[in-house]
Amino acid sequence: MEFEQVYSDHADLVFRNLRRMGLRPPTLDDAMQDVFLVVHRRLHEFEQRSALKTWIIGIALRVASDHLRRQKRQAARHEPLDADVSDLARKDPHELAAARQQAALLYAILAELDEAKRAVFILAEIEELSAPEIAQVVNANVNTVASRLKAARRKFAEVLRRERAKALWRQLP
């Protein structure tokens, strides 16, 4: 297995997951580098007990966790959220604004989930991994994954309802 191919196949996946876990530029770039340094160093140790994708996501989640702890300690200020949609440049301004609002809402909701629930939610709902795959990534049993996912979905729905109500309230004359 060649590192260059692994990087090429998984860089977008790692970037999306680091971003969704709450990392922002320039920390995001540093975390990407850290993930692939670990992958490069340990690729020869990969025993294929899980899929390469889940192994890499596990590394990415641990690196994200480390960077988030560091960010909290440093209390650094970050840039505003941008939508991580690749074709935004080709959209008309109204579609672009709507996409940015949706991305901002998603990131705001994800930020309200604790780290463990956010990771499970992202892996299940966005990356579409199965519960056993998620259990391997987060090093937890399947029942714990199911419990975290249920709680994360409940919190997600609650925050989404609250945000929609706020938006409706703002539209009233």
Burial of 112 per CB tally in 10 Å (0-12, 13-18, 19+): middle
Question: What DSSP assignment string belongs to 126-144?
Answer: IS---HHHHHHHHT--HHH
Task: Give 76's pLDDT tier (boundaries 50, 70, 90).
Answer: very low
Q: Is the full-model pTM beyond 0.75?
A: no
**Given this model, what pLDDT does residue 83 score?**
45
| Model pLDDT for residues 124-159, shown as the tens digit of each residue | 998 889 999 999 999 899 999 999 999 999 999 998
DSSP, collapsed to helix, strand or coil, labels residue 48 as coil
Q: Mind listing the domains of the chain with CATH numbers?
A: 1-79 (1.10.1740.10)
Q: How far apart are CA 135 and CA 83, in angstroms?
A: 29
Is the predicted pLDDT of residue 85 greater than 70, yes or no?
A: no
Burial tier of 139 (Cβ tally within 10 Å: 0-12, 13-18, 19+): exposed
**Omega before 25 within 30 of 0, i.e. cis:** no
- In this predicted model, what pLDDT tens digit does every residue of 44-74 receive, in sequence order? 999 888 899 999 999 999 999 888 888 766 6
Over residues 107-120, the pLDDT tens digits come to 888 888 998 999 99
